[in-house]
Amino acid sequence: MSFISGLPHRSSPYFSVGHFFRVLNASVFGVEPSRAIAGFKLENYDVDYATGFFPPEPLPRLSGPFELWERALDDAEGNISLGEDTRESAKAKRPYGESWRERVRAVSIREPDCFLQRAHMILAFLVHFYVHSQPPSDTPTPVHVPESLAIPIVNVSRALGIAPVLTFADTVLWNAIPADSQLPISANNIKFVRSFSGNSTEKNFHIASAKAELRGVEILRIIEDYAQLPDIVDVHAVSKTARDLRRLVTVVQDLTDILQNVKEAVDPYSFYWEVRPWFRGSGCGASKWIYDGVPESDSLDLAGPSAGQSSVMHAIDVYLDVDHQLYQKRSPAPSEENKRADKGRYMPGDHQAFLRDLAALRVSIRTRAKTSPLLRESYDLAVLALKKFRDAHMRVACLYVISMANTTPPGTPEEGSERQRTQQGPRQGTGGSHISSLLKAGRDATDRTLLGRR
């Protein structure tokens, strides 16, 4: 119902999700959307033909995660007094005011993240559907991602601190729901909302990653316990840490089993030709992507997703002090190939902060283990388990990518058969890195972490 009646009015196309993004673009990030397209028309400026600068309809009460803000305001009205008001009636409201402000500080910013996360997931799927549904051209030409997708995904990504492209968070973390909605999400009660191919290969691939992610929660708890220890050199602390490192060995072994079990549920040929191509990012294969309307398009992080973007996997590395960045002097020295394989981070900003803070927390467990025989043995067992995971992962990647690059694509007369070396499909990672050098670099960095080597 119109709250200003009397004049006929047209509904504005801008009073919608599109409106939300325009507001995000223009006011939060200072990006001005183009208005030239339809000329100087009221509707292009969110001006209604009947109500002028008033919104054409009364604004609906915020719902979903945003309802929190509505409720906070409900609570404020009548219960909060002016800070400078010194009357007794005002002073009586001060304690409530303090608890109210604390509540606002604690929740009001975090909750809408789920809206942005969902928006990122939807937009990232749209971008990859848009790019990869186009038949490849004979000559490598840049692919243009239209402004309608490019501007919102860049802005939403900035708010979340994540790359403006499909990431592990989109395909797995933010895409997962419980298969039975009555029960909590778990490795045996999970399904995925969005899919590119719709086939079981894609689903089972994500299930394997999700199982690993959920199994890895125990590692996060181990890490938190370590961070909370009042004194890491205390004898109880050392024996608890040693026990926890043994627990970590078991978890990493389970991750290795989960990884190897993909062979039972994920078909390599279908994975390589029907699923993986959807994940490719800019520069993977022939074409670079250009985000139209985004001035800094060239400097965006646009590699595609892999389980290498799992914050759990990164957390294990940070906790054990595996030096992928090759900052520290370790033996044997990294090769040039190793150095080239280092790649950017594509986790949500909060999770990146978790990893940064974890790295800065205290003297690393590796440094402690050097001088403590009890820790040293457990520590090396944990690193060894991680190295074995990476050895197994290299074998999986070889089967699913490197061997499959030698097969002929679906729809060709010799579909699925082995083909000549000169015609091989891409062996790059979804991010464009050459797979074997990237994975070997990770495996070698883990190997260099072992204290027993020295």
The answer to whether 429 contacts ligand HEM (rule: CB under 6 A) is yes
Buried b (16+ CB within 10 A) or exposed e, 51-71: beeeebbeeeeeeebeebeee
The answer to whether 173 contacts ligand HEM (rule: CB under 6 A) is no
**Three-class DSSP category at 83:** coil
**Three-class DSSP category at 177:** strand
Identify any residues that bridge with 192 across adjacent strands, giving them in sequence order: 176
304-343 mask for ligand HEM (x: CB under 6 A)?
--xxx----x------------------------------
Query: Are 292 and 144 within 8 A, CB to CB?
Result: yes
- Chain position whose Cβ is nearest to ligand HEM: 429
Chain positions 21 to 40 lying near ligand HEM, rule: CB under 6 A, are: none
The CB-of-256 to ligand HEM minimum distance in angstroms stands at 8
What whole-number distance in Å separates Cα of residue 221 and Cα of residue 319? Answer: 12
The single residue among 226, 346, 379, 400 that binds ligand HEM, judged by CB under 6 A, is 400
The answer to whether 401 contacts ligand HEM (rule: CB under 6 A) is yes
Phi and psi torsions of 166, nearest 5°: -65, 130
The single residue among 131, 150, 223, 259 that binds ligand HEM, judged by CB under 6 A, is 259
Residue type, 380: D
Q: How many residues does the chain have?
A: 454
Residue spans of beta strands (DSSP E) within 160-283: 176-177, 191-192
Chain positions 193 to 252 lying near ligand HEM, rule: CB under 6 A, are: 205, 208-209, 212
Number of H helices, E strands in the chain: 19, 4
Positive or negative, the CA dihedral 300, 304, 305, 311 is negative
Q: Measure Cα distances from 405 to 206, 268, 390 in Å.
A: 21, 10, 21
The CB-of-112 to ligand HEM minimum distance in angstroms stands at 30
Closer to ligand HEM by CB, 111 or 301: give it.
Answer: 301
Closer to ligand HEM by CB, 241 or 449: give it.
Answer: 449
The CB-of-38 to ligand HEM minimum distance in angstroms stands at 41
Query: Are 292 and 150 within 8 A, CB to CB?
Result: yes
Residue spans of beta strands (DSSP E) within 275-326: 289-291
Query: Are 2 and 57 within 8 A, CB to CB?
Result: yes
The answer to whether 171 contacts ligand HEM (rule: CB under 6 A) is no
The answer to whether 393 contacts ligand HEM (rule: CB under 6 A) is yes
Residues with Cβ within 8 Å of 64's Cβ and at least 6 positions away in sequence, in order, are 115
The answer to whether 262 contacts ligand HEM (rule: CB under 6 A) is yes
Structure tokens at 303: 């590699």
Residue type, 289: W
Question: For residues 349, 149, 118 and 76, what is the CA-based torsion angle, rounded to 10 degrees?
Answer: 80
The single residue among 244, 438, 448, 450 that binds ligand HEM, judged by CB under 6 A, is 438
Of the candidate spans 59-67, 244-252, 412-420, 434-442, the one that interacts with ligand HEM by CB under 6 A turns out to be 434-442
Structure tokens at 237: 């602390």
The answer to whether 430 contacts ligand HEM (rule: CB under 6 A) is yes
The CB-of-52 to ligand HEM minimum distance in angstroms stands at 53
Structure tokens at 268: 């390599």
The answer to whether 390 contacts ligand HEM (rule: CB under 6 A) is yes
The CB-of-431 to ligand HEM minimum distance in angstroms stands at 4
Of the candidate spans 51-59, 290-298, 371-379, 436-444, the one that interacts with ligand HEM by CB under 6 A turns out to be 436-444
The CB-of-149 to ligand HEM minimum distance in angstroms stands at 23
The CB-of-446 to ligand HEM minimum distance in angstroms stands at 8
Total interface residues for ligand HEM by CB under 6 A: 28
Positive or negative, the CA dihedral 293, 295, 113, 288 is positive
The CB-of-438 to ligand HEM minimum distance in angstroms stands at 5
The CB-of-356 to ligand HEM minimum distance in angstroms stands at 18
Positive or negative, the CA dihedral 138, 139, 140, 146 is negative
Structure tokens at 179: 């298969």
The single residue among 116, 165, 266, 365 that binds ligand HEM, judged by CB under 6 A, is 266
Asked whether residue 393 is marked as a ligand-binding residue, the answer is yes
Of the candidate spans 90-98, 125-133, 246-254, 395-403, the one that interacts with ligand HEM by CB under 6 A turns out to be 395-403
The CB-of-268 to ligand HEM minimum distance in angstroms stands at 8
Structure tokens at 343: 């790649």
Which residues sit in the known binding site? 393
Which residues contact ligand HEM (rule: CB under 6 A)? 205, 208-209, 212, 255, 258-259, 262, 266, 271, 306-308, 313, 390, 393, 396-397, 400-401, 429-431, 433, 435, 438-439, 442
Which residues sit in the known binding site for heme b? 393
